[in-house]
Structure 1
Amino acid sequence: MLSDVMEDYLKAIYTLQEESDGPVATSDIADYLDVTPPTVTSMVEKLTDRGLLEREKYKGVELTDEGETVALEVVRHHRLLEAYLTEHLDYSWSEVHEEADRLEHHISEEFERRVAEVLGEPEVDPHGDPIPGADLAPIEADDTTPLSDHETDDRVVVARVSDRDEEELRYLDRAGISPGTELEVVDVAPFGMVTVRIASDEADAGDEQSLPESVARSIRVRAVTEEVA
């Protein structure tokens, strides 16, 4: 049996691997989990001894196949819970992350199955993140890029938004930006502000919003194609 903390580490490393597509530095794990580097080093040694991580000196750590399977199960629980909380218990998308963090380690496989069934076997959570299937097969890399990587006049559609910052999600909610929202990049300031215009047929279409670079970096988008347009 793994402790909740061990599962948290595996989930964090999985998330960071998604973003970096390679070994994850212990300093990045420490920042992500808000713990000290020595604490990370100690836990990495434990998880490596259990065969859940591979560690390469000076490069970082990666999940083994077994470690990835454990991480995918925790991620599946987390994202299903986020979807259930928003759809059936009237939580806003800014509130569900911490609740799901608390519950994800403690639900049974039967409860997970029933939640997935009630939700209609959803493929994504409220923030657009893909939900691993019941078979816990690895999720294929998607074609999204951070909004902060785009230039003036680019037209994009929001695919995913980080669920980790409650205030940031409230800000985006007020701005009318969520998965599925089509945006046009109006301006990219030299000091990090990205101004976008909502370009869809929604009620607030045409509104302009200036997003700090850190917020724009947490929004993953796809270029608008003729089919989307």
Structure 2
Amino acid sequence: MPSPAIDDYLKTIYHHTEWQDDRITPSQLAGELGLAPSSVTEMVQKLAAQGLVAHRPYGPIGLTDEGELRAAAIIRRHRLIETWLVREFGYGWDEVHDEAEVLEHAVSDRLLEGIDERLGRPTHDPHGDAIPDAAGRVHREPFVLLGAAATGHSGRVLRVSDRDPELLRSIESAGVAVGTIATVQDAATLRIGEAMVALPDAAATAVWLSA
């Protein structure tokens, strides 16, 4: 049955391993959701009983095939709505996350299909995150986190984390956007064309480039 609480858990678990390989731990999940560890433990046990996650006591949490499909479906809703708000309503990429959090539980399947069709079946949202298709499939290019990229590495900006709206605004004001071609000078400096662009220190863990 549809449940916003379950969807939020599955979405958080799914999102954790999109841009790195380590599975999420119960304490990390509690921190991401802003909940007490005891509440998270209880819910994870329920999700495991429903066949949505695989988990051993005190171990990391992973999605089952069924859980991944359900998570991909709600991620698809969220990211299509974000893209819709930016393209059709003039929202900034720093403004859409909270709106999409509300709308993803309210938009019907019919309206979502209409949004997808109107937008031309986009594959990525405004932050560069992949939008799963209706079957839950995604395509991602090989990537490297800015803070882990070697000096002199050149690539396209593939993704900017949407966790911090202020950081998004700072990155945008520096002239960096998804699709920008850049060369790494250090973890806080990019060369874009002939210009040297200084980024906030937090960008080192919030910007991904093509590998």
TM-score (norm 1): 0.86
Paired residue type of 2:207: I
2:159 is equivalent to residue 160 of structure 1: yes
- How many Å apart are 1:127 and its aligned residue? 0.8
Q: Structure 2: which 5+ residue stretches go unaligned?
A: none
Show CA shifts across 1:91-133 (max 9, x none): 0010001100111112111011000011011111111111111
What's the secondary structure of 2:132's corresponding residue? coil
In the alignment, which of 179, 196, 200 is matched to residue 211 of structure 1? 200
Instruction: Give the structure 2 partner of residue 226 of structure 1.
Output: none
- What is the aligned residue count? 211
2:135 is the counterpart of 1:135 = yes
Matched residue, 1:198: 192
**Which letter does structure 2 place at the counterpart of 1:198?**
I
Tell whether the 8 Å contact from 2:124 to 2:131 is kept in structure 1 after alignment: yes
Aligned to 1:3: 3
Q: Give 2:210's aligned residue.
A: 222
Distance 2:59 2:19 in 1: 16
The 8 Å contact of residues 17 and 62 in structure 1, kept in 2 or not, is answered as: no
Equivalent residue of 1:176, what SS?
Answer: coil
Secondary structure of 2:195's aligned partner = coil
TM, length-normalised to structure 2: 0.93
Aligned to 1:87: 87
How much does 1:207 deviate? 3.8
Deviation at 1:22, TM superposition (A): 4.4
Q: Distance in 2 between matches of 1:124 and 1:20?
A: 18
Kept after mapping to 1: 8 A contact 2:183/2:192? yes
Measured in 2, the distance between the counterparts of 1:217 and 1:29 equals 19
- Equivalent-residue separation in structure 2 for 1:161 and 1:143 (angstroms): 15
Report sequence identity in percent.
39
| Structure 1 residues 141 and 90: CA distance shift in structure 2, 3 A | closer
- Cα 1:20–1:58 change in 2 (3 A) is farther
Structure 1 vs Structure 2 CA RMSD: 1.6
Contact 1:159 1:179 in 2 (8 A): yes
1:179 maps to: 178
Gaps of 5+ in 1: 189-193, 200-204, 224-229
Residue 191 of structure 1 aligns with which residue? none
Q: Summarize deviations over 1:153-192 as a string: whole Å, max 9, x none.
A: 222220111112111111111111111111222235xxxx
How far apart are the structure 2 equivalents of 1:142 and 1:25? 26
Moved over 6 A (4+): none
Distance (Å, rounded) in 1 between the aligned partners of 2:184 and 2:19? 22
User: Is the contact between residue 22 and residue 62 of structure 1 (CA under 8 Å) also seen in structure 2?
Assistant: no
Supply the AA of the counterpart residue of 1:174: S
Give per-residue Cα distances to partners, 1:131-151, cap 9 Å, x unaligned. 1111223x3553111111012
